[in-house]
Structure 1
Amino acid sequence: MLLPRGRAGVAFRTVTSNSHLPHTPQAVGAAAAAPTRTQRLDALPVTSKHRRLLIGSGIGWALDAMDIGLVSFIIAALAVHWELDKSTTSWIASVGFIGMAIGASLSGLLADRIGRRQVFAATLLIYGVATGASALATSVGALMVFRFIVGLGLGGELPVASTLVSEFSPRRVRGRMVVILEAFWALGWIAAAAIGTFIVAQSDAGWRWGLVLGAVPAVYAIVVRLGLPESVRFLESKGRHDEAEAIVASFEAAAGNALGGERGNTPTGPEAAPEHTEGGIWGRALRQRTLAFWAVWFCVSLAYYGAFIWIPSLLVSQGYTLVKSFTFTLIITLAQLPGYAAAAWLIEPWGRRRTLFVFLAGSALGAVAYGLSAAEWQIIAAGCLLSFFNLGAWGALYAIGPELYPTHVRATGTGAGATFGRIGSIIAPLIVPPVLAFGGQVAVFGVFAAAFALACAAALALPEQKGKALD
């Protein structure tokens, strides 16, 4: 049982800064027996500070989704207003994903060197400013340049945010909290669908006003920089122990205020032993999980972005008006929320790997159903099925990522997986026009169903990390 507030704080501070202890047998024994800062964080209940961190990171996540979601509506509108062919609109989408691939790789490396919070705020600022500038574009070339810069920020923010939340979450609910973070994606995509339906589709200049709204992250970056804590594990890895101790103590104080000074039990699950990580994420100890993780990321990105970037445009090409196709997409997008809720509920009792596998399998079935749909009710029903399972799978994938790697390569590992996944998202918009010309909608969604099936197979090779402490 952890000690009450006051004496516990003094005891913890004494033994977790071991460089200040006298080198006596008694001192060494005390240091060995006392909980580490990681164990102290794992032992806490979910406090107001956890919720503030989750909501603060989640809002940034939602703004990311809003920006990416807006692209699907904007390219559908520009195809009508600027008379663009499918190849050109594909490149408008893909160039942003090229930026995301580069951003994900660089941000992971930077986050392991300068901190999670710093990179999170910087990426929000980059893509917020670039999104607002996109509204001023007067040509396809200029729009593509701005979308590339937007992608740099977007790709950098996502893996950093999930790493930050994962490192603060109590062990017993860590997976659930990361899935809840990912659920903010649905809120952002729903906002994008609403903007597309009620602003973008209403006038020739509607797409510009939609992008102006997408500049909100530039303002929110200031809030992130001032309001979110830095990762304790990162601070410890850099020798900044006083800062790490102050942050842990603040979370313990929040728990004490909520529980009247009581504490929970120290976790009894298996501790993560320090891993032999020579060679980094491609070393012998981590190679298999990295390969499987990259495969899932690639396949899910290919199928998700290929489907949801193109659904509004495909509906327009089938004869539906912009307003009606965007309305259908808004309804389909709403199914993301219960998908996330189901994944968040199941990921702790089922575990990460099983939850990911089931939702990927459901996504494959949803893709087949959408490819065969013809009537309006079939489009909406199959689209909702695909949306439900696909976004639940995303939640499980983001929960798994930070748990696969030790602290010193955690952001690098999650960022590298996202980077490889972005290759799938770059390819996805580009392959739709030729596959559509060859075999129609059935062939397009058949490709996406096959990608989900391959992701299912790769998911089985990932280790189950439920209940394990982060290294």
Structure 2
Amino acid sequence: MTSSAPAPAATRTERLDRLPFTRAHRRLLVGSGIGWALDAMDVGIMSFVLVAIAEQWSLTTGERSLLASIGFVGMAVGAALGGLLADRIGRRSVFALTLLVYGLATGASALAAGVAALLALRFVVGLGLGAELPVASTLVSEYSPARIRGRVVVVLESFWAVGWIAAAVVGLLLVPSSDDGWRWAFAIGVVPALYALYVRARLPESVRFLERQGRHDDAEAAVRAFERSAGVAAPSAAPPAAEEHGPAAREHAPRVPVRALFTAALRRRTVALWLTWFGVNFAYYGAFTWIPTILVEDGFSMVRSFGYTLIITLAQLPGYAVAAWLIEAWGRRAVLLTFLGGSAVSAVAFGLAGSVPAILAAGIALSFFNLGAWGALYAVTPESYPTPVRATGAGAATAFGRLASITAPLVVLPLRDQIGTAGVFTVFAAAFLLAMAGSAMLVELRGRRLEEDVDEAAAEAG
């Protein structure tokens, strides 16, 4: 008779992956999602404020374009720096810091006396906004059970719709109410600075990050908290660290340079993600930053324009809901390709729309498909990289995409003067097709453990 060797103890990350979705997961998701919604509200408010201050300050087309783009310059820098910092000092710490930075700068924007001051403040706001999104999605991704990780991250992304809807409500009710309505809209943006205190005190740090830093007691405590929430008994002996983290005795992991994103194992993924992020950013921010302004310039009143924008924005929620359901049924790549294709068709339809019903129908479709694609993109981005460069990789992809979000608001109004609304939205459709080409290059990661896929990336590189 032969005796079989005992099964090896599960690593902490394996224990996390095996858990059901618990109250602890919900607390992390909602806590991160509120920060995400506050981010979206700040970005969205600017599209409504631009209409008011353009009239009040008699802004030129160039000044309006600069104000629309400067925040995205900050977001590009913030995304790259935030990812790097999150891999050095932790996801939770950077998340809280970003909320503090952009909350204070948004509140200060309410006091801006001219274009120069507002430009400087919006750049600082962008630094915080840009750093938050890839860091928050990385943190949630690293705690989510493997079988539903994509769905959980899409739900996180759906908080963007909540924030943008809140911005549309503020824009409709507050901005047109008085000459100082736009200042009060910015003043509301100080809320994230207060919320940063909650994030720092209540949300957990990434177990994978803690292990990589040699903080194994803290990592074990975090895992046990989630196991208690699920009613699962923790092992009696301390488990090994996850495979990709190396020997448990190592106290400080070496820093991994950004060029690791372009090694043979990761190059294809990086290029695919950067193309997808660029196309989606160009089309989304080019369209949604200027839809209120385009409607006003097409003859609608400010109030009607803001009301139509609110209706269009509401379609973001069902877009996220459908994408969250499909992402674990179809997979990441199939959802991205489908929703990006729907976005391209909707963009052309919006450009050609000649009546209010047609504008609303095309706008609703564009909002539905575009935001569903965003959800899938945020799900696939952090899981495409191993732990040492996960936040760096997500931040770099986001930062590259921000180059498009900088460019789009600058060129939309001058381009519209040359080729009209239909031509501009055809350009947006082409950007969605570029994003589809990038998505087609991605590896399908549905149901994979984050550590398991590291080995596949190496094999894929040959």
Normalised to the residue count of structure 1, the TM-score between the two structures is: 0.89
Match of 1:283 in 2: 263
Which residue identity is paired with 2:268? Q
Q: Tell me, yes or no, if the aligned pair for 1:272 and 1:469 is still in contact at 8 Å.
A: no
Match of 2:459 in 1: none
CA distance in 2, matches of 1:158, 1:291: 20
Query: Is 2:316 the counterpart of 1:336?
Result: yes
Match of 1:5 in 2: none
Which residue identity is paired with 2:327? I
Aligned counterparts, 1:182-331, within 5 A: 182-256=157-231, 279-331=259-311
Given candidates 406, 431, 437, the residue that maps to 1:426 is: 406
CA distance in 1, matches of 2:88, 2:185: 35
Cα-to-partner distance string for 1:122-151 (whole Å, 9 max, x where unaligned): 000000000000000010110000000000
Structure 1 gaps, min length 5: 1-25, 264-270
Query: Is 2:143 the counterpart of 1:163?
Result: no
Match of 1:6 in 2: none
The structural deviation recorded for 1:77 is 1.1
Aligned counterparts, 1:6-85, within 5 A: 33-85=8-60
Percent of aligned pairs sharing the same letter: 61
Query: Is 2:181 the counterpart of 1:181?
Result: no
CA distance in 1, matches of 2:413, 2:184: 28
Query: Is 2:88 the counterpart of 1:113?
Result: yes
Which residue identity is paired with 2:122? R
CA distance in 2, matches of 1:45, 1:463: 25
Query: Is 2:352 the counterpart of 1:372?
Result: yes
Structure 2 gaps, min length 5: 236-241, 247-255, 452-462
Instruction: Calculate the aligned-residue CA RMSD, in Å.
Output: 1.8
Q: Tell me, yes or no, if the aligned pair for 2:224 and 2:234 is still in contact at 8 Å.
A: no
The structural deviation recorded for 1:272 is 9.3
Query: Is 2:431 the counterpart of 1:451?
Result: yes
Match of 2:458 in 1: none
CA distance in 2, matches of 1:53, 1:128: 21
Give secondary structure in 1 for the equivalent of 2:231: helix
Which residue identity is paired with 1:181? L
Give secondary structure in 2 for the equivalent of 1:103: helix
Cα-to-partner distance string for 1:221-260 (whole Å, 9 max, x where unaligned): 0010001000000000111100000000111011007xxx
Give secondary structure in 1 for the equivalent of 2:113: coil
Give secondary structure in 2 for the equivalent of 1:33: coil
CA distance in 1, matches of 2:137, 2:309: 27
The structural deviation recorded for 1:384 is 0.3
Cα-to-partner distance string for 1:388-436 (whole Å, 9 max, x where unaligned): 0000000000000011000000000000000000000000001112210
Which residue identity is paired with 1:196? G
Q: Tell me, yes or no, if the aligned pair for 2:351 and 2:426 is still in contact at 8 Å.
A: yes
Q: Tell me, yes or no, if the aligned pair for 1:121 and 1:224 is still in contact at 8 Å.
A: yes
Q: Tell me, yes or no, if the aligned pair for 2:211 and 2:245 is still in contact at 8 Å.
A: no
CA distance in 2, matches of 1:217, 1:115: 19
Which residue identity is paired with 2:37? A
Given candidates 77, 97, 104, the residue that maps to 1:129 is: 104
The structural deviation recorded for 1:85 is 2.2
Distance verdict in 2 for CA 1:356–1:273, change over 3 Å: farther
Q: Tell me, yes or no, if the aligned pair for 1:256 and 1:262 is still in contact at 8 Å.
A: no
> What is the number of equivalent residue pairs in this alignment?
432
CA distance in 2, matches of 1:94, 1:154: 13
Aligned counterparts, 1:351-366, within 5 A: 351-366=331-346
The structural deviation recorded for 1:458 is 1.1
